[in-house]
Structure 1
Amino acid sequence: MTKHGKGPLLFLDVDGTLIPFGEPQQQAPLDTTSSSYLSRLDPQTGARLAALPCQLVWATTWESEANTEVAPRLGLPPLPVVHWPESTSAGELEDQWFNLHWKTRALVAWAAGRPFAWVDDEITEADEDWVATHHRGRALLRRVEAAQGITNADLNTIGIWVQAT
């Protein structure tokens, strides 16, 4: 399915969402290039995501690399990828003013009015408010705890939302 297909979208972050960062008090940064980092991916999560009646889309700084490094480990096919626009100082200043995540505007634009869910560990109330005001379709923004990543409760909530869309 292409970007312009039908049905709801599910924008997926990777770091802190599909790959948990561990205990919040952990001081040492994770080595994101090691295979042990990618071993934190849970293949069962991939199966649950694939079973959802929606279009999965990578919304991560991994961009296309998510299809070569993450998708196979989750048992997912290659997915569409949000490619982030070049930053502009005016847009960045406005986003900082509104306390928006840097992905928010791009995801609303990419969705182009289609219903979407977005799961990420950095979503805030400001993002929820901005999406509610600027997106003409239904939207669910689901913030997950980076220390544990996406949980069964998150997947259940997303599943219920997608079914109702």
Structure 2
Amino acid sequence: MTRHGNRPLLFVDVDGPLLPFGDDPQRDLTGTASNSHLARLDPQIGPRLAALPCDLVWATTWEEEANIELAPRLGLPQLPVVNWPEPSAAHEREDQWFGLHWKTRTLVAWADGRPFAWVDDEITDADRDWVSIHHPAQAILHRVASSRGLTDQDFVVLDEWLQLA
């Protein structure tokens, strides 16, 4: 699948933004949610994501499982998936030094110069700063509270930004 086009990308994390943890997070160490977490998936999120003026991309440790388990429940088509490379020792040290999220470099490379939004529950100012220096196009890194997931306000912020990107 080609990654070139005019529309901005929206990189979507699953655990936290789509599967909120509530007040007592209990993450599965494999990077996927248990069946109880799947019950927290709001099927109305799918049409809301699809209505945004962007190309959706899974940016999650679920990788292809997001298309198998989540896309049908959300009424979404099969989406492109970011496959995470093995981290290099040099990048790991540098990322730790700068306080970067382990996804940041890969998402900038995947965007390949296209404007993008990224929703995740672990984004920090260090990621925003790094992207602003290393990505030639517009980008918004939007942190979502893992306890509540994507909210109406998050969709307002994303829609407004995507309309201008």
* TM-score normalised according to structure 2 size: 0.94
Q: Which residue of 2 aligns with 1:44?
A: 44
User: For residue 95 of structure 1, what is the aligned residue in structure 2?
Assistant: 95
Whole-angstrom CA distance in 1 between matches of 2:101 and 2:159: 24
Q: How does 1:63-142 map to 2 (within 5 A)?
A: 63-142=63-142
After superposition, the CA RMSD in angstroms is 1.3
Give per-residue Cα distances to partners, 1:46-104, cap 9 Å, x unaligned.
Answer: 11000011100000000011000111111111100000111111110000000000000
CA distance in 2: counterparts of 1:120 and 1:33, whole angstroms: 15
3-state SS of 1:97 partner: helix
CA distance in 1, matches of 2:151, 2:63: 23
8 Å CA contact 1:113, 1:137 repeated in 2: yes
Distance in 2 between residues matched to 1:33 and 1:98, nearest whole Å: 29
- Letter in structure 2 aligned against 1:101: H
Distance 1:122 1:148 in 2: 14
Contact 1:2 1:80 in 2 (8 A): no
Is residue 2:9 matched to residue 1:34? no
**Normalising by structure 1, what TM-score?**
0.94
| Structure 1, unpaired ranges of 5+ | none
* Residue correspondences, number: 162
Secondary structure (helix, strand or coil) at the match of 1:43 reads: coil
Runs (5+) with no aligned partner, structure 2: none
Q: Percent identity?
A: 65
1:9 maps to: 9
State the 1:5 CA deviation. Answer: 2.6
C-alpha offsets along residues 101-152 of structure 1, whole Å, 9 cap, x if unaligned?
Answer: 0000000000011000000000000000000111000001100110001111
C-alpha distance in 2, partners of 1:55/1:89? Answer: 32
Aligned to 1:59: 59
State the 1:30 CA deviation: 4.5
8 Å Cα contact 2:113-2:136 kept in structure 1? yes
